[in-house]
């Protein structure tokens, strides 16, 4: 059963289910309980005929600092049970359109979620980064398949192997977000676009989305392959050292 948490707020705005990451003191770093709450939100949206789209946003001026690094340390004992894996599969299998509103840091899964959403809007201060290798880890969320498909292999290597951070203008240039929106307009803009998706003829919308995404077999196979490699990497000395460095504030990945 899912642990309950106040760190994800679930609300409705007409036909849109709004999920808000609400752990600002920890830069909305995602815990197991938060992943479970997001999965519950996805399930709720899938089951509810009134809901036509989902909107995911952060709070406190940050989207998310990615997976909670303390949870990574704890998960090294039983790496296959991490809720993050179930979240990634739920993300890949979501049938209803997902809109992201991104302000500030969007690290790790905060960036790889871009590869699964339908629309993404970011403020000019948004910062994206996939520091998996620097943390002794490997890419997740199907990013090792989807990112080279989207932006080409050499650019994917720059972001996934070198782990270079990138700005909102660069994300726009790479086709990873739709638009850069002023901070005071972000919430309304993303909500309006999500509402527009939700208001479309439902069956046509879901059918069009299925066509855009195509067969998900290869993606799901890649997600599982990544999860196996990720679980192994979590237990490595390289990863444990990187996590301890972060936790002791000795450096940032
Ligand atoms: N896991 C656990 N705690 C995290 C975290 C994470 N991923 N990201 C931030 N935090 C915590 C910090 O430890 C700090 O806690 P404290 O106040 O108890 O010391 C608090 O959130 C604020 O973070 P801080 O680093 O002081 O804020 P900042 O504004 O200087 O930097 C980030 C923000 C997001 C750039 C930076 O925190 C960061 O790089 N986080 C790690 C990102 C990461 O590697 N995620 C894993 C991806 S796979």
Q: What is the predicted pLDDT for the residue at 250? A: 58
Tell me the three state secondary structure of residue 16: strand
Q: What is the pLDDT of residues 97-155, one digit of tens each?
A: 999 999 999 999 999 999 999 999 999 999 999 999 999 999 999 999 999 999 999 99
Q: Look at residue 225 and tell me whether its pLDDT is greater than 70.
A: yes
For residues 190 and 4, the model is more confident at 190
* Residue to mutate, 25, 29, 87, 111, ligand 1, most ligand atoms under 8 Å from C-beta: 29
Percent of the chain with pLDDT over 90: 93
Q: What is the predicted pLDDT for the residue at 253? A: 61
Tell me the three state secondary structure of residue 147: helix
Tell me how far the alpha carbon of residue 71 lies from the centroid of ligand 1, in angstroms.
13
Calculate the CA 68 to chain-centre distance: 13
Which domains are seen in the chain, by residue range? Answer: 8-184+201-248 (3.90.226.10)
**8-13 and 16-21 beta bridge pairing:** antiparallel
Q: Look at residue 251 and tell me whether its pLDDT is greater than 90.
A: no
Q: Look at residue 1 and tell me whether its pLDDT is greater than 50.
A: no
For the entire predicted model, the pTM comes to 0.97
Q: What is the predicted pLDDT for the residue at 252? A: 61
Confidence label for 79 from pLDDT (cuts 50, 70 and 90): confident
| Residue 130: φ, ψ to 5° | -125, 80
Q: What is the pLDDT of residues 162-208, one digit of tens each?
A: 999 999 999 999 999 999 999 999 999 999 999 999 999 999 999 99
Q: What is the predicted pLDDT for the residue at 76? A: 85
Torsion of CA 67, 117, 11, 68, to 10 degrees: 0
Taking CB atoms and a 6 Å cutoff, what residues make up the pocket around ligand 1?
Answer: 26-27, 29, 65-70, 105, 107-108, 131-132, 135, 252-253
């Amino acid at each position: 059963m899912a642990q309950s948490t106040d760190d994800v707020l679930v609300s409705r705005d007409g036909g849109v289910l709004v999920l808000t990451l609400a752990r600002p003191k920890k830069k909305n770093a995602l815990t197991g309980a938060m992943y479970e709450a997001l999965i519950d939100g996805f399930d709720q949206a899938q089951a509810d005929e009134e809901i036509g789209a989902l909107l995911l946003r952060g709070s406190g001026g940050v989207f998310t600092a990615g997976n909670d690094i303390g949870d990574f340390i704890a998960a090294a004992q039983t790496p296959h049970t991490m809720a993050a894996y179930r979240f990634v599969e739920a993300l890949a299998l979501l049938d209803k359109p997902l809109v992201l509103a991104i302000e500030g840091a969007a690290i790790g899964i905060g960036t790889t979620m871009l590869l699964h959403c339908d629309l993404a809007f970011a403020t000019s201060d948004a910062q994206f980064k996939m520091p998996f290798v620097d943390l002794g880890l490997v890419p997740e969320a199907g990013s090792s398949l989807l990112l080279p498909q989207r932006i080409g292999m050499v650019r994917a290597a720059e972001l996934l192997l070198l782990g270079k951070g990138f700005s909102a203008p660069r994300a726009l240039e790479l086709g990873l977000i739709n638009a850069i929106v002023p901070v005071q307009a972000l919430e309304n803009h993303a909500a309006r676009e999500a509402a527009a998706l939700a208001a479309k003829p439902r069956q046509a919308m879901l059918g069009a989305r299925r066509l855009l995404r195509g067969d998900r077999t290869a993606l799901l196979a890649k997600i599982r392959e990544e999860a196996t490699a990720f679980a192994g990497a979590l237990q490595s000395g390289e990863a444990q050292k990187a996590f301890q460095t972060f936790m002791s504030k000795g450096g940032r990945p």
